[in-house]
């Protein structure tokens, strides 16, 4: 079945995703009254088949991952979702059922996270499926979480568990045994929106972990003009990740710098630990203290004996 | 020369494009205080090498076209530019000089149109270069030009000249003799921002011509629940387009439905013709009356003798 013409495609699949301001996706642009007394928060991410997701990933998970990696950027700023615009470049021959599933994933996540599509574009491509999503959120003016702001002595915190996404990719590509939990974490990350909002005014600095814990902590430390240390045994692992690591200790670097975590990484004054835990409880999101910021530069990972663990330089760059 | 890592790439090339709110492109998202008392206008378009531009187009024109097709959507709403987010999927091996030229085109147009980049993403792709841009503009609340609103009896107006973009593509691909004017119109369209803003409160309905005059007039008529007629001799042509048509009358369908015009197409009450001309003069943009809206449905194109000119159905779909 070949792709229907662009306009029929939009009417059939994408119009049902449209909300207030989208003008039924039938005008040149969307119209939006910005919520009074709020600052806008804006981010955009692109995903390419074979680079950011597997070409045979279920189509509904591809739409959801695209939306969720952008929601994760809002979470990292302490923002609440407002809406999104999306462009889709579909390979020639993409069938209608594929697009219907892709859209069904978006519809489910729109309902879960409380936002709708405002606009976008649908084109054909001779290359791999390529998607781009721009997300809009809002935050109380001056209350956004920023990357800069950590101070030497601050504690390093992270939400959820680390390494599942990277191990999920290994599992989906046959380099680790199949594991539904890890695969789901790779395909459908959990943006920590409630936690991000609860940490506003509590955390001194925050970002989401997309490129790998070590590399992203390096960004947070660099933005603060300092260094950081991670205590590897404190890094929270899921049960499947723990089991995989026990079976093959050489997986540690992959866990710590493999990326695709979409957890929140943040800095807080040790005196605020109680407030951090209260925010996490309110957001029903587990958090763990995994290290601290220090004078100096760079990120060091220590093992249980306090010895530095050698890691490959940097994280996972899509250009590497 | 291979592509530098993503972060160095952003710092070197894209950070200089960043303006207020972009946080130096080094945070998870941008922060924007929405201008007080204005409604936001949002649109997104994608472009794929070999589909929406020629792979050997000068890189600066590719960045400019991407920005301008989005600015054209703002123009069609009567909006003023505010900022944009852009995602770039560069093929492996894209060299630094190519990106520098691409960015130089964006920098020139940012200065010309008064907007800056707010955020985005840069990824690699095994496929063709693929770009997506989300534009933000503002309009006085309730004053946006909309697609729906034309009434039978209204006149059809269009800005500038029609067909240059489509003939420019033919000229650049060797199907017409080389022509610098036509090539420039294909590569670097002129968004009619001043005209769009001047037409707010004057035109009853408007859109930009991207898919072809006939097809886009069909959209405008359908949104109004009516039909429309175009008098072909009234359609404004540039000198090179007139010469090409004189040499080959079979080019008429391509001129009327080839797309890539990015002119404004709008409806106005005949009693408001003076106000339209005053708006056009204030915006220093030529406009022409090319037909009228009628009871019924569909678009008919008439020749100088009032006979219908047969045209291939529809315009130019990227899926056709």
pLDDT band for position A2 (50/70/90)? very low
Mean pLDDT of B192-219: 97
Cβ proximity of B77 and B38 under 8 Å: no
Q: Domain for residue B171, yes or no?
A: yes
Q: Label residues A77-96 b or e (16+ Cβ within 10 Å = b).
A: bbbbbbbbbbbbbbbeebee
Partner A, chain B 143-202, Cβ-Cβ below 8 Å: 144, 146-147
CA distances (Å), origin A114, targets A16, A17, A67, A107: 15, 12, 12, 10
Which tens digit of pLDDT belongs to each residue from B135-148? Answer: 999 999 999 999 99
Q: Rounded distance, CA B282 to CA B259, Å?
A: 27
What is the spatial distance between Cα A122 and Cα A94, in angstroms, rounded to a whole number? Answer: 12
CB B79 within 8 A of CB B72: no
A317 assigned to some structural domain: no
Give the SS3 label for residue A190: coil
Tell me if B119 and A31 make a contact (CB, 8 A cut-off): no
A318 part of a folded domain: no
pLDDT in tens, A257-276: 999 999 999 999 999 999 99
Are B85 and A44 a contacting pair, CB within 8 Å? yes
One domain, residues B129 and B28? yes
User: What is the rounded distance in angstroms from the CA atom of residue B260 to the CA atom of residue B209?
Assistant: 7
Sequence-ordered alpha helix ranges (H) in chain A? 6-9, 59-77, 96-113, 164-172, 180-187, 193-199, 213-224, 239-247, 252-257, 273-282
The predicted model gives B10-35 an average pLDDT of 91
For position B7, what pLDDT does the model report?
76
Instruction: Summarize pLDDT for A20-31 with one digit per residue, the tens.
Output: 899 989 899 999
CATH of the domain at B217: 3.90.650.10
Neighbouring residues of B97: CB distance < 8 A, sequence distance ≥ 6: B1
Q: Model confidence over B50-82: pLDDT tens digits?
A: 999 999 999 999 999 999 999 999 999 999 999
Residue B320 has pLDDT above 90, yes or no: no
Confidence of residue B310 (pLDDT cuts 50, 70, 90): confident
Write out the two tokens for A227: 């260094």
**Domain harbouring A49, CATH code:** 3.30.1330.10
Q: Is A157 annotated as a binding residue?
A: no
**Same-domain check for residues A88 and A213:** no
- Could you give the ipTM of this predicted complex? 0.94
- pLDDT computed for residue A313 by the predictor: 61
Domain shared by B54 and B102, yes or no: yes
Q: What is the mean pLDDT of residues B193-220?
A: 97
Look-up: residue for tokens 């996706």? A25
Judge if A129 and A18 occupy the same domain: yes
The answer to whether A225 faces chain B, any CB pair under 8 Å, is no
* Sheet-wide strand order for B39-48: A30-32, B39-48, B130-139, B80-91, B116-125
- Mark whether B163 and B134 lie in a shared domain: no
Could you identify the residue written with the tokens 């119209």?
A: A31
Residue A134: domain span: 6-139
* Shared-domain flag, residues B76 and B178: no
Does B308 fall in a domain?
no
Residue A94 lies in a domain: yes
**A54 touching chain B per CB within 8 A:** no
Residue A122, pLDDT above cutoff 80: yes
| Domains in chain B, number | 2
- pLDDT of residue A310 exceeding 50, the answer is yes
Has residue B318 been placed in a domain? no
The pLDDT of residue B313 is 61
Strand order of the sheet with strand A298-302? A205-208, A264-268, A155-159, A287-294, A227-231, A298-302
Residue B85 structure tokens: 């987010």
Tens of pLDDT, residues A167-193: 999 999 999 999 999 999 999 999 999
* Chain A hits for B121, Cβ within 8 Å: 44-46, 132
* Tokens representing residue A88 in the block: 């889709």
Task: Assess whether B82 and B199 both reside in one domain.
Answer: no
Boundary residue ending a domain (A139, A172, A205): A139
- Same domain for A41 and A125, yes or no, is yes
Residues A45-59 have pLDDT tens digits of: 999 999 999 999 999
Measured between CA atoms, the residue of chain A closest to residue B143 is A31
**Residues A214 and A81 placed together within one structural domain of the fold:** no
Specify whether B131 is located in the same domain as B162: no
A11 burial level (CB within 10 Å; 0-12, 13-18, 19+): middle
Which residues of B are less than 8 Å from A317 in CB distance?
5-7
Residue B66 covered by a domain: yes
| B37 and B161 housed in the same domain | no
Are residue B25 and residue B119 in the same domain, yes or no? yes
CB pairs under 8 A between A and B: 216
Taking only the tens place, the pLDDT of each residue in B118-170 is 999 999 999 999 999 999 999 999 999 999 999 999 999 999 999 999 999 99
Tokens encoding B165? 């973009």
The answer to the question of residue A315 being in a domain is: no
The Cβ of residue B314 has, within 10 Å, a number of other Cβ atoms equal to 15
DSSP notation for B223-275: HHT-EEEEEGGGS---HHHHHHHHH-GGGHHHHHH-----EEEEEE-GGGHHH
Coil vs helix vs strand at B109: helix
């Amino acid at each position: 079945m070949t792709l229907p013409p662009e306009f029929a495609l939009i009417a059939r699949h994408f119009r049902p995703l449209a909300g207030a301001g989208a003008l039924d996706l039938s005008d040149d642009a969307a119209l939006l009254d910005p919520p009074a007394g709020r600052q806008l928060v804006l981010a955009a991410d692109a995903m390419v088949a074979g680079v950011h997701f597997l070409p045979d990933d279920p189509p509904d998970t591809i739409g959801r991952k695209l939306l969720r990696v952008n929601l994760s950027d809002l979470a990292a700023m302490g923002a609440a979702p407002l809406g999104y615009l999306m462009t889709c470049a579909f390979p020639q021959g993409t069938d209608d059922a594929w697009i219907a599933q892709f859209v069904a994933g978006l519809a489910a996540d729109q309902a879960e996270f409380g936002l709708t599509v405002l606009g976008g574009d649908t084109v054909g491509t001779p290359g791999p499926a390529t998607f781009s999503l721009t997300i809009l959120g809002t935050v109380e003016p001056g209350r956004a979480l920023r990357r800069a702001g950590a101070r030497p002595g601050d504690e390093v915190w992270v939400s959820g568990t680390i390494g599942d996404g990277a191990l999920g990719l290994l599992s989906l590509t046959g380099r680790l045994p199949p594991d539904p939990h890890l695969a789901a974490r790779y395909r459908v990350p959990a943006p920590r929106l409630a936690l991000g909002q609860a940490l506003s005014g509590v955390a001194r600095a925050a970002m989401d972990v997309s490129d790998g814990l070590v590399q992203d902590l390096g960004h947070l430390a660099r933005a603060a003009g300092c260094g950081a240390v991670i205590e590897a045994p404190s890094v929270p692992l899921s049960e499947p990740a723990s089991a995989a690591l026990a079976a093959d200790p050489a997986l540690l670097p992959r866990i710590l710098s493999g990326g695709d975590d979409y957890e929140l990484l943040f800095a807080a004054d040790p005196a605020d630990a109680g407030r951090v835990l209260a925010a996490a409880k309110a957001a029903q999101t587990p958090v763990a203290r995994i290290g601290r910021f220090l004078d100096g530069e760079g990120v060091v990972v220590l093992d249980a004996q306090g010895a530095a663990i050698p890691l490959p330089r940097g994280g996972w760059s899509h250009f590497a």
